[in-house]
A and B are shown apart, each in its own frame.
Chain A
């Protein structure tokens, strides 16, 4: 809502020295979000005066018509001689009063005007258009003033070229401030200044209201509880909107259209009551306010033919729908350039009804914006009367006596509240008198002693609860006067196990050289294809957004990999190919058999556990996952020697890094699982639970995402790792170690993990550690075989091992390996 200071001053008696910025500061303290104060015309410098065109010489020989004018500016130029001015507009005649800026003056935007030679003549200034003056958008012609404008008068003052305009973002609870009336009321309270209600006009006495009135009725009181019509006749369609009104509309951000339309817009801005004018001649039969019937349609003013929904609120006559209530009028009954007789409508439509209608039709108007936030129910009689009067005064119309006033009863609102409630909300002792005074200031009727009965004013439909009233008191007493009370210490239990684990996992991965990414969780079917997921892969079952930002990514991720791979490709594109990235985030897995809709529980009491469960059952499973992608070198080459590319084993190691933070050692088994390379994919197990996969990506996946060859990845689900275990303190033996090396030859396809597992098992309790120190394939072991060389370290907790004991343990280990994997001692 844009509110010019000059307009506000008309209804609030502000001290003369108050500027827009000062007022803005006060209004912000009172709860209005003043976003900017536009100091319109602040940069204008005179002389900018009224002149009369004395003579016009049409210059020829130019591409467009050019006029050389003599303009009388009175004594404004010091000499009293007429000014010679070249002008490119032709919409004026000799004798017209115009606005002239004399050399030395500055127009809005800092345009300095000097005497200069143009089109072969010296132009001593400029004749101005509304857009040049900053009071309109019309570039086509210069501004012609009414003939009574005094020659030589200061046009800055005359036209109100300087004005501060407050641009205020009105929060949904303060719909009354979608009007000059409401903002002026707040300004009056803020300054303790007198307020004049622009709606408080004296209506014609009932006796005079007995004339003919256009028949109207409300068929659905849930749609509309007040409907007022007034008629005017004999309106002059040629009547122009006065300049002052055009300036105000422009300052408020609306375009002047025609007098009839401008009057309704002007009063909507001033009062907050949307108004609509019908061409009387285009109406047939009585008007009825009702809901739409199936199959009805209406072509609205924006030339869109709309199919109506049975919930839509309509104004209808004998011909059918003529207007979408409080949203947009119909084209067929529109005021046009020949309309002389009008029916002005001012009504109070249901907020929810208009909100739904405007959303359903994606039709948002100034009117619907106000109705869906709440309009003063008492305004229609007054606003319609002011409209009729303005049409009479400015457009020569005659007001038809009488008024149509249909209404449905609206229950009175009364809030009961202990007088001390605002004190208890704020933690400040205001006292009953202050509470009552502040509530009365905002327009409430207050009764009672210790318990107050408060009737909010008609323009405050937002006031429904004691806390709403408390807020009124507290904001007017000033939020800045609320003290700060230091927090009382409470007994919290700190972070949960999961929260601490997640932090540790992040630190461990970052410590291992991976950079965290927070990618958008949006994905597409193409991702599933790019990841080579089979048709029946559960990861293809994804939730779809009803309104995705991009139709290219309408799904919610079921795996972290697409986002990470895209981030990897982005880094690659920016010249960083040796990169490891990780992400910790939720994936979204629809639950089989979940209800299609989450129930909307009532809010007037707490839900039962069953009700909460019924809501949660509709939610997808949203487990936390961790994933890593890496490409290029893990260790770069340098003066120290060659580097080391990141390989499948690095990816598996990241999984181990994660698992160790939970105190779990992962078991690794070869697997085939998309999007991994079928021969370089590890399934990761914690105990018997599959927690995820790691390895090198399938070459087709790498190609699809535009990644370097041999890009690797890991993804696992945190909860499958289980609860972090309390580490048990080890017993540290101080007896010497006995080391034994064994080289075992096995079939090339025997997993090293199995051999190691067998050795471990066979070696028994004396085994302290086992380490594979060599892997050999080649002639010496024969085709289809490989040699695995291990160092086994044995140690006893209570004695020095003898060579015999160590050898026996080694032999036992080898025996189990031989039994399980067919291993033979190399060279044996």
Chain B
């Protein structure tokens, strides 16, 4: 940098001539305007606004001017540099905008490409529907009761008022464990959990017992040697069949939808007396398919009703076998097939599909149903 001159010789500082400054400014503005991209602009910035640019050099020369000339020269240079700076900024914004537009288009991808990188999993619908069914009872304050699948005959039959050699006992095609006289069976129903609950829980008892059950049926479309049941049990003071009805209705409404009615038909189970079979209004057609001219319904085969399960008032003999005073306590029990419920609720048609573990069957059911 040159030191301030003591003498004033405008010729020596021709860079500060107004014409020179205007020319430098105009060249700069032209270069900026003509910069086609950010790189060109960067070069233009270096050439016209950089340390070695004419305007920067001119600025340095101000000190060489006599003091009286400095202010005016400074003003002119400042104006020129300001104009160049503004032009640079404007052009920079313009070019960046252009670039962004272009790049974002260039970076576009095919968002329809598949991305199946992770394995998909699912819980078995018999598990999730069982939980769903149990949860309806749990929401009413019931507790979930579970127990062994290899069960003592006393729990599976005797305590449930299946008398030895009674036909009801042979009606349930039982798997015997060991031999026929070990007193051990694969439980034929979830009802032994009634006994276990009544023996272990303080009264009153409100339990729901879901579980795996076994009978010697060959696997076919509608039967399986391994199947699943769920039953609700209430033992309390003053329980009547009206409570049974109310309990079943509450379950049906919680599980299948509000406003569905049920009907009971007299039936027979050793562990309930009186006993009944329960049907519920079809939750799809709500009975319309059974009316004259109604649209056919696949869910209920146009019956208007769906067979739900069996129920009844706990046989006082069962209470006695559990050490409960039947004069003081009474109760109801209601049981239904989980597999069958899955079949009619979700249109599953073949037990093979439920039992064979084919992933194509299970995956669509996801985590909850």
Interface residues of A (CB under 8 A from B): 28-31, 33, 171-174, 352, 355-356, 359, 372-373, 424-428, 465-468, 470-471, 474-475, 479-480, 482-487, 489-496, 499, 503, 506-507, 509-521, 543-549, 556, 564, 567, 570-571, 574, 576, 578-582, 584-586, 588, 596-601, 603-607, 612, 615-616, 618-620, 622, 634-636, 638-640
Distance (Å) between the CB of A491 and the closest chain B CB?
6
CA distance A468 to B144 in the complex (A): 30
A474 touches B182 (CB 8 A): no
Chain B residue contacts of A174, Cβ below 8 A:
268
Minimum CB distance partner of B268 in chain A: A171
Encode contact with A along B175-213: 1 for CB under 8 Å, 0 otherwise: 111111111101000000000000100001010000010
B241 touches A425 (CB 8 A): yes
Distance (Å) between the CB of A326 and the closest chain B CB?
14
Given known A-B contacts A518-B354, A616-B152, A619-B150, A426 and B317 have beta carbons under 8 A apart: no
Chain B residue contacts of A620, Cβ below 8 A:
150
B117 touches A636 (CB 8 A): yes
CA distance A598 to B178 in the complex (A): 11
A494 touches B242 (CB 8 A): no
Q: A471's contact among B121, B216, B275, B362, by CB below 8 Å, is which?
A: B275
Q: A467's contact among B123, B179, B273, by CB below 8 Å, is which?
A: B273
Chain A residue contacts of B321, Cβ below 8 A:
603-607
- A-B contacts at CB below 8 angstroms, number: 303
Chain B residue contacts of A518, Cβ below 8 A:
124, 126-127, 212, 226, 354-355, 357
Chain A residue contacts of B183, Cβ below 8 A:
597-600, 615, 618
Chain A residue contacts of B246, Cβ below 8 A:
484-487
Distance (Å) between the CB of B294 and the closest chain A CB?
18
Given known A-B contacts A503-B131, A603-B320, A606-B321, A492 and B142 have beta carbons under 8 A apart: yes
Distance (Å) between the CB of A295 and the closest chain B CB?
24
A619 touches B152 (CB 8 A): yes
Given known A-B contacts A471-B274, A521-B226, A570 and B268 have beta carbons under 8 A apart: no
B359 touches A490 (CB 8 A): no
What would 6 A/B residue contacts be, using CB atoms closer than 8 Å? A482-B242, A516-B124, A549-B225, A598-B153, A599-B154, A618-B152
Chain B residue contacts of A585, Cβ below 8 A:
212
Distance (Å) between the CB of A514 and the closest chain B CB?
5
A496 touches B360 (CB 8 A): no
Q: Interface SS of chain B: helix, strand, loop or mixed?
A: mixed
Q: Which of B287-324 contact A (CB under 8 A)?
A: 313, 315-317, 320-324
Chain A residue contacts of B106, Cβ below 8 A:
none
Q: Which of B321-358 contact A (CB under 8 A)?
A: 321-324, 330, 354-358
Distance (Å) between the CB of A340 and the closest chain B CB?
38
A639 touches B113 (CB 8 A): yes
A425 touches B313 (CB 8 A): yes
B178 touches A556 (CB 8 A): no
A544 touches B178 (CB 8 A): yes
Q: Decide yes or no whether B28 CB sits under 8 A from chain A.
A: no
CA distance A479 to B330 in the complex (A): 18
A427 touches B240 (CB 8 A): yes
Minimum CB distance partner of B110 in chain A: A639
CA distance A487 to B84 in the complex (A): 86
A489 touches B199 (CB 8 A): no
Given known A-B contacts A567-B357, A620-B150, A638-B116, A516 and B143 have beta carbons under 8 A apart: no
Q: B358's contact among A373, A574, A605, by CB below 8 Å, is which?
A: A574
Q: A491's contact among B141, B186, B274, by CB below 8 Å, is which?
A: B141
Distance (Å) between the CB of B279 and the closest chain A CB?
11
A485 touches B357 (CB 8 A): no
A427 touches B167 (CB 8 A): no
Chain B residue contacts of A603, Cβ below 8 A:
158-159, 161, 317, 320-321
Distance (Å) between the CB of B338 and the closest chain A CB?
11
CA distance A605 to B199 in the complex (A): 12
B158 touches A31 (CB 8 A): no
A485 touches B152 (CB 8 A): no
B264 touches A482 (CB 8 A): yes
B266 touches A471 (CB 8 A): yes
Q: Which of B56-109 contact A (CB under 8 A)?
A: none
B153 touches A600 (CB 8 A): yes
A640 touches B117 (CB 8 A): yes
Minimum CB distance partner of B174 in chain A: A547
CA distance A474 to B272 in the complex (A): 14
Minimum CB distance partner of A170 in chain B: B268
Chain B residue contacts of A492, Cβ below 8 A:
138, 140-143, 206
Chain A residue contacts of B141, Cβ below 8 A:
489-492
B199 touches A172 (CB 8 A): no
Minimum CB distance partner of A563 in chain B: B357
Distance (Å) between the CB of B5 and the closest chain A CB?
55
Distance (Å) between the CB of B109 and the closest chain A CB?
11
Q: A479-B264, A493-B143, A503-B131 are in contact. List 4 more A-B contacts (CB 8 A).
A: A425-B274, A519-B357, A603-B158, A612-B199
Q: Which of B243-272 contact A (CB under 8 A)?
A: 243, 245-247, 249-250, 263-268
CA distance A503 to B153 in the complex (A): 30
Chain A residue contacts of B315, Cβ below 8 A:
465, 467
CA distance A579 to B121 in the complex (A): 9
Chain B residue contacts of A634, Cβ below 8 A:
119
Given known A-B contacts A480-B263, A546-B180, A606-B323, A638 and B317 have beta carbons under 8 A apart: no
CA distance A356 to B150 in the complex (A): 25
B363 touches A515 (CB 8 A): yes
B182 touches A618 (CB 8 A): yes
Q: B245's contact among A484, A521, A578, by CB below 8 Å, is which?
A: A484
Minimum CB distance partner of A364 in chain B: B170
Chain A residue contacts of B121, Cβ below 8 A:
509-516, 580, 582
A510 touches B176 (CB 8 A): no
Chain A residue contacts of B206, Cβ below 8 A:
490, 492
Given known A-B contacts A480-B263, A576-B359, A426 and B184 have beta carbons under 8 A apart: no
Chain A residue contacts of B330, Cβ below 8 A:
424-425
